């Protein structure tokens, strides 16, 4: 299984989702450029990045502001 570097198990989940959905997930919304090289734990502590809970993806922004989105759907 492909693994996104620096993300451990989360990288496996994200790459699996990418393979299944053909990169439609727009991971670049959250994980772009240098952020892809950082560990998800660091992103979470800083209020940036994504975490998976069940079938929903949680997007964290700023100071504790949380926006929930189902992957593969806009808005």
Q: pLDDT tens, 4-47?
A: 555 556 656 656 655 555 444 455 445 544 544 444 445 445 44
* pTM for the full predicted model: 0.16
φ, ψ at 47 (rounded to 5°): 85, 20
CA end-to-end distance (rounded Å), the chain = 30
Q: What is the pLDDT of residues 37-75, one digit of tens each?
A: 444 445 445 444 555 544 455 555 543 334 444 444 444
Q: Which residues pair with 57 in a beta bridge?
A: 52, 69
């Amino acid at each position: 299984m492909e693994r996104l570097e620096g993300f451990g198990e989360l990288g496996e989940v994200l790459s699996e989702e990418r393979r299944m959905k053909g990169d439609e997930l727009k991971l670049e919304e959250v994980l772009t450029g240098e952020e892809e090289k950082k560990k998800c734990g660091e992103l979470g502590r800083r209020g940036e990045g994504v975490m998976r809970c069940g079938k929903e993806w949680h997007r964290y922004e700023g100071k504790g502001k949380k926006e929930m989105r189902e992957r593969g759907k806009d808005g």
